[in-house]
Amino acid sequence: MRFSPAYVLPAFRALVLASPIAHPESETHTLFVRQDIQTPINASLPNVTIFATGGTIASQGTTNTQTIGYQVGLGVQQLVDAVPEILNISNIAGYQISNVDSGSVNQTISLKLAHQINEELAKDEISGVVVTHGTDTLEETAFFLELAVNSSKPVVVVGAMRPATALSADGPLNLLQAVTLAASENAKDRGTLISLNDRIGSAFYTTKNNANSLDTFFSTEAGQLGFFINQVPYFYYAPAAPLGVTHFNLTNATSLAQVDILYAHQDMDPALFNASYAAGADGIVVAGVGAGGMSSVASEAAESLFNATGIPMVSSHRSADGFVPSSEEGFTIGGGFYNPQKARVLLQMALTLGYDYDEIKELFAQSYPMP
């Protein structure tokens, strides 16, 4: 299903794909009715709700030295049971949203999370929420929540690099710090936070830098927001939202637009653009070389697809950091500071809510207002 039918030329689709691949039917959205855990209430403590999705933090290996190839499977109750210190700082309610590695987190899970977190934070007695998540795509879910959750209360996304069974497992302390943060007045009005390994970062900028190392979440240019000293969160700055953050109301959304990321490189196959569109993409993000570039052959293929269909294409950068501007005459939209996976989330949301090309261009431009 296309989300903005206005720019689709059905004849073109027939041209590029003889037998169209149907998009999977969107699932009916079911809100939670069941709370999976609830610890005893101490009325003088804040209340934090944990949404568990799986990941390494919920994984077990067969030995205490195994740090890859382990199995996801611990439930939210077991995560909390492993850190009794949590119950001295907060009353905990918990929901098991899914129990998968984060490579398998999908729109069903992220939409469920956004809907449920908005509901939870609307309750006066709730101070904040924690989402436990695999680290591989953690920044995508965190950025999604940054845009889809509308609350001044903290949303803290946390994971671990070592399974619960490992020597020096990092999950328990990360979870304690995340709950501390979610219950902290000082963490309010800072958007969605990513907290691991003593560091507190903004979901807007933080990205996973290393596939294996414990100290992997960084925001190189924009910097961190704070740090834990003796399990107390210290912040470097007064509370502020990232410049240009937009909130999207997805209350009525049951599925999200399809956005593909194409990775530019030497000899990039120009056929990928038409193939992506033919497979149902509503938008395309290019992880470009340098500041959003690609070969002249690939660029021409992208432009001919754009000319024929108007499908929005956002240029990002395959380099870890950097900025891609929009040009006046170009057909691609500059992705600003967003890395490809975050540009994809933003484009996906805009398309889901029916933004047209000009509105999407404006949305990306607004993210980085000119001085």
Ligand X SMILES: *[C@@H]1O[C@H](CO)[C@@H](O)[C@H](O)[C@H]1NC(C)=O
Active-site positions read: 56, 135
- 303 versus 321: smaller Cβ distance to ligand X: 303
Furthest C-alpha separation in the chain: 66
Q: Closer CB to ligand X, residue 6 or residue 124?
A: 124
Of residues 268-307, which lie at the interface with ligand X (CB under 6 A)?
270-271, 274, 300-301, 303-305, 307
Q: According to the binding rule CB under 6 A, does residue 35 interact with ligand X?
A: no
Please name the residue that has the structure tokens 């619960």.
164
Question: What is the Cα–Cα distance from 211 to 213, expressed in whole angstroms?
Answer: 6
CB of 166 to ligand X, least distance (A): 22
Among 6, 19, 125, 266, binds ligand X (CB under 6 A): 125
Burial class (CB in 10 A: 0-12, 13-18, 19+), 213: exposed
Q: Report the site for ligand X in 150-209 (rule: CB under 6 A).
A: 150
206 is in an annotated binding site: no
**Residue with Cβ nearer ligand X (217 or 228):** 228
Q: With contact defined as beta carbons under 8 Å apart, do 18 and 369 qualify?
A: no
Q: Token pair for residue 259? A: 């956005």
Q: Is 102 labeled as ligand-binding?
A: yes
CB of 100 or CB of 241, closer to ligand X: 100
Interaction of residue 41 with ligand X, rule CB under 6 A: yes
Per rule CB under 6 A, is residue 30 in the interface with ligand X?
A: no
44 lies in the site for ligand X, by CB under 6 A: yes
What residues between 214 and 273 interact with ligand X by CB under 6 A? Answer: 247, 249, 251-252, 270-271
Q: Can you tell me which of 4, 59, 96, 118 binds ligand X, judged by CB under 6 A?
A: 118
C-alpha to C-alpha distance for 291 and 335, rounded to whole angstroms: 10
Among 20, 29, 38, 85, binds ligand X (CB under 6 A): 85
Residues 6+ apart with CB under 8 A from 141: 53, 102, 105, 109, 110, 113, 131, 133, 157
Judged by CB under 6 A, does residue 82 bind ligand X? no
Q: How far apart are CA 236 and CA 256, in angstroms?
A: 36
Q: At CA 84, angle to CA 36 and CA 132, rounded to 5?
A: 50
136 known member of a binding site:
yes
Rounded to the nearest whole angstrom, what is the least distance from the CB of residue 241 to ligand X in the complex? 12
Amino acid at 9: L
CB of 35 to ligand X, least distance (A): 13
Nearer to ligand X, 247 or 361 (CB): 247
What 8-state DSSP symbol labels residue 241? P
One residue of 1, 10, 29, 42 binding ligand X per CB under 6 A: 42
Q: Judged by CB under 6 A, how many residues of this single chain contact ligand X?
A: 39
Coil, strand, or helix at residue 125? Answer: coil
Helix, coil or strand: residue 126: strand
Q: Rounded distance, CA 251 to CA 111, Å?
A: 9
Binding to ligand X in span 302-361, by CB under 6 A: 303-305, 307-308
Three-state SS for 148-216 is: HCCCCCCEEEECCCCCCCCCCCCHHHHHHHHHHHHCCHHHCCCCEEEEECCEEEECCCCEECCCCCCCC
Take residue 353 and report the two structure tokens written for it: 């809510």
Q: Which of 2, 3, 37, 47 binds ligand X (CB under 6 A)?
A: 47
Annotated binding site for substrate: 102, 135-136
Binding-site annotation: residue ranges: 102, 135-136
Q: Which residues bind ligand X (CB under 6 A)?
A: 12, 15-16, 24, 41-47, 84-85, 88, 91, 98, 100, 104, 106-109, 118, 125, 150, 247, 249, 251-252, 270-271, 274, 300-301, 303-305, 307-308
